[in-house]
Amino acid sequence: MKTVSIDEASSAGDESQYGTTTIGFAVVNYHTSPQVEALLNSLAGRWPTDSITVIVDNSCSKVEATRLEHLRNRFGSGQNRIEVVVSGRNGGYAAGNNIAIQRLLAMNADVVCVLNPDVRVVGGDLAALAQIADTETAVLYGAATDTASGRRVSGLAELRPWTCRTRILDRLNESRQGSLRFPLGYFMCASSSTWRRVGGLSEDYFLYYEEPDLAARGERLGLIVSSFEDVVVMHDQGAATASGERQRDRNRATLLHVSRGATIFAWKHRRRYLLTTLTARVALALSLLATGAFGAGFAVLRGVGAGIWWIVRRSS
């Protein structure tokens, strides 16, 4: 086990040849080492026979890097390897996870799961998930999820085309006709061949909308989205991003990046609905401003503006 740099992480690793299905876990840390510790604790009693965990540290903090190194030494073993990659910058959710995914593919992981630090694996058989995902090479998986409010949901969400707003699905078969179904980003799992086909996560986004973008690209390749309900995770929603469920309670950075992401996604994948998507975001901003949530309202407008500027630069 060792701490590797971003350059080393992208190089091929021929040292990892396994005789059984190897599952890889991609984790991005941004000042969340206590949550990473709790995640590793939840995995410790459920490690498959062969696993590799790559933790990408976006914190740009020696303190965080040291804490992660201690966790690597504490939880890692010969068959359950852990590597810490110090990225040297906060490139966002997609960029950080892509570093981890590329490293896991280079180390010959058969299946790769993206896990947020605010997730705990509380039930089920990860080895069974690895075997099925390795066989079903045209599926993107979420996992059954227990929320902090006590609800059990599918681990999937849908994106409504008219507004590009998203909604968590309680049940696997709940999505509406015409909507785009996608696994929620705190737990996404697919075979290595699937990750190679879709090309990882889009770094057009800093935070939010990477998952529907992945599903939209996968849809064009004939991939389907499903929930592996024999694995149960608990998700402390917002712990990794400091956001809450109510729009008014969500922090300004979250509202900015959600609005930017919705604008970019509409232009990339639902262009005929770009105007209605922008209208919905502006309406949200006005409703927040009307209730006195000026910081939140202006954050939404700044996000829309950032998304439009991204479109202008991409189109020029």
Q: How far apart are the first and last CA of the chain?
A: 46
- 304 contacts: CB under 8 Å, gap ≥ 6: 259, 260, 263, 278, 281, 282, 285
H runs (alpha helix) in 199-273: 210-220, 252-269
* Edge-to-edge order in the sheet of strand 156-159: 166-169, 156-159, 180-183
Residue 241 lies in a domain: no
Task: Identify the domain boundary among 206, 235, 264.
Answer: 235
194 & 289 share domain: no
Q: Which domain holds residue 279?
A: 247-315
The beta strands (E) that lie in the chain are given as 3-5, 23-29, 51-57, 80-86, 111-115, 119-123, 139-147, 152-153, 156-159, 166-169, 180-183, 187-191, 224-235
224 & 258 share domain: no
112 & 151 share domain: yes
Half-sphere exposure of 145 (CA within 13 A, CB side): 30
91 & 34 share domain: yes
Task: Identify the domain boundary among 200, 235, 270.
Answer: 235
150 & 197 share domain: yes
Residue 309 lies in a domain: yes
Residue 240 lies in a domain: no
Read off the pTM: 0.88
282 & 177 share domain: no
SS3 180: strand
Q: What is the pLDDT of residues 180-219, one digit of tens each?
A: 999 999 999 999 999 999 999 999 999 999 999 999 999 9
98 & 225 share domain: yes
218 & 292 share domain: no
Residue (of 257, 249, 266, 262) closest to 303 by Cα position:
257
22 & 165 share domain: yes
Q: Tokens 């996608």 correspond to what residue?
A: 182
Task: Identify the domain boundary among 212, 235, 258.
Answer: 235
> What pLDDT tens digit does each residue of the chain (316 aa) get?
333 333 444 443 433 333 478 999 999 999 999 999 999 999 987 877 789 999 999 999 999 999 999 999 999 988 899 999 999 999 999 999 999 999 999 999 999 999 999 999 999 888 888 989 988 888 999 999 998 888 899 999 999 999 999 999 988 667 677 799 999 999 999 999 999 999 999 999 999 999 999 999 999 999 999 999 889 999 976 544 444 444 444 589 999 999 999 999 999 999 999 999 999 999 999 999 999 999 999 999 999 999 999 999 999 8
Q: What is the pLDDT of residues 132-161, one digit of tens each?
A: 998 888 899 999 999 888 889 999 999 999
Q: What is the CATH number of the domain that holds 48?
A: 3.90.550.10
158 & 264 share domain: no
139 & 201 share domain: yes
Contact assessment for residue 91 and residue 63, using Cβ atoms and an 8 Å cutoff: no
Distance (Å, rounded) from C-alpha 295 to C-alpha 204?
Answer: 25
Total structural domains within the chain: 2
Q: Tokens 């590799």 correspond to what residue?
A: 52
Vertex 101, ends 110 and 131: CA angle to 5°?
25
Residue 242 lies in a domain: no
151 & 217 share domain: yes
What single letter denotes the amino acid at residue 60?
A: C
